[in-house]
Amino acid sequence: MNRTEFLDKLTEALFMDKGSLKSEQALKDVKWDSMHSLEFQALVDELFDRRVDPVAIGDCETIGDLCDLAKIEPDA
């Protein structure tokens, strides 16, 4: 699964419009909150059976940082 496909699934989980999340977007600009973090953790767990370090989530500043943390490769 590439990053675009992952972000499509994340936007769906967060009730956002398709295509509205981009790697370069700042989390504060999408009003990212703790429930969004939970959705992100759950999606990574469900899709990849992978754990995301919850403390490191707090250090992320952009959507791309979150994807890097979850080891989701950028699109080719």
Partner 1 sequence: MIPFGPRAVLRAIASYLPKDLLTNEDIFARYGEWSPEKISTKTGISTRHVCAADEFTSDLAVKAGERLFALDESFKEGIDQILLTTISPDYILPFTAGMVQDALGLPTTVAAFDITLGCSGYPYAMTQAAAMIESGRARKVLVITSDRFTGYTEAGGQDIRTLFGDAATASLIEAQDDGKPPLSGGLIGATRLGTDGSGALNLLIPTAGMKGFLGAQKRDIKQPTVEMKGPEVFDFTLRVIPKHVRSFLESEGLAVEDVDIWVFHQANLFMIDHLRRRMKIPEEKFVEHIAEVGNTASSTIPMALQAAIDAGRVKPGHRVALLGFGVGYSWGTVLLEYQG
Name the site residues for partner 1 (rule: CB under 8 A). Answer: 15, 33-35, 37-39, 41-42, 45-46, 51-55, 57-58
CA 12 to chain CA centroid, Å, is 11
7 versus 44: smaller Cβ distance to partner 1: 44
46 versus 75: smaller Cβ distance to partner 1: 46
Q: Residue 66 in contact with residue 74, Cβ under 8 Å?
A: no
Rounded least distance, CB 51 to partner 1, Å: 7
9 versus 51: smaller Cβ distance to partner 1: 51
- The CA distance from 50 to 22, in Å, is 22
From 51, 53, 32, select the one nearest 10 (Cα to Cα): 32
